[in-house]
Chain A
Amino acid sequence: MKKISLALAFVLFSICTFAQDNTVEMATGLRSSGKIWVVVGVILTIVIGMYIYLFTIDKKVKKLEDK
């Protein structure tokens, strides 16, 4: 009986580790808490800022061309 229960415990343990192995760790916490939007906001600020900067350079070149 003791042996069987021990074997059963090992089998269950191996199932546990197998189940753990199957789940892929993703950043679900960051997503569910909504903090991912902070990251998106920061990168959007940089990207949009970069494009505004490009537009001002474009305008400056245009001005020089029109001279």
Chain B
Amino acid sequence: MRKNWWKILAACMVSASVVAGFIGPVPELHILNESIRNVYFHVPMWFTMLTLYLISVINSIKYLNSGDIKHDMLAVEAVNTGIIFCAFGLLTGMQWANITWGEPWPNDPKLNGSAIATLMYLAYLVLRNALDEEQKRAKISAVYNIFAFPIMVVLLYILPKLTDSLHPGNGGNSTFGDLDMDNYMRPVFYTAVIGWILTGSWVCTLRYRLRLLENKANKIQ
């Protein structure tokens, strides 16, 4: 149980963010109204995805350095979990955009960037399935992953800041920090982000451990 403290912490933090997210005070803004509370649920999905992809790219580099297949396994499972959070981020974003921006998919650079980034990571998984030989698959996909990560960061976090985007903090829009003058949203938001990142990492380690077991079982046969 001593090693599991962070899993309990993840559960407590997400639960706390749900309670504080619905009950706590929020700035009263036009158009957004109560939907500003989505910040506590939609944004952490993307932060979790980013963390998982970062874990993946670090392990891809580690694999290329050491040649240890375990690093490759962790890299692919991090992407597998990250893509789930990416899907949650897209779906929740579309629901929120529908009521605030008038349509689920306005032509926003951040949205289109996220679509390209999603396809890039789906291509990573397809690429892996196309290669049969274990060493070759690990090496090619590790190199692909190292290229994909910085492009994803540019598409999601740099390009939208340079052009006009509907998202806060992009293209001259005020950030949520400016809207949240009294700073009562900040602690809840950070609790939610850390809680969800821990949850995502937990699911990722579960998948990784299962893959190790599967690998062991395949070797015995």
Contact = CB atoms under 8 A, between A and B. Distances in A.
A26 interface: yes
A60 to B, nearest CB: 10
Interface size class of chain B, counting residues whose CB lies under 8 Å from the partner chain: 20 to 34
Contacts of B148: none
B81 to A, nearest CB: 12
B213 A64 contact: yes
A24 B160 CA distance: 29
B32 to A, nearest CB: 9
A12 interface: no
Chain A interface main SS type: helix
Contact of B14 (A39, A47, A65): A47
Contact of A61 (B28, B34, B199, B209): B209
B48 to A, nearest CB: 14
Nearest to B22: A40
Contacts of A26: 28, 33-34
A44 B7 contact: no
A39 B33 contact: no
A36 B23 contact: yes
A39 B22 contact: yes
Interface of A: 24-27, 36-37, 39-40, 43-44, 47-48, 51, 54-55, 57-58, 61, 64-65
8 nearest CB pairs, A to B = A51-B11, A24-B28, A40-B22, A27-B34, A61-B209, A43-B18, A64-B213, A26-B28
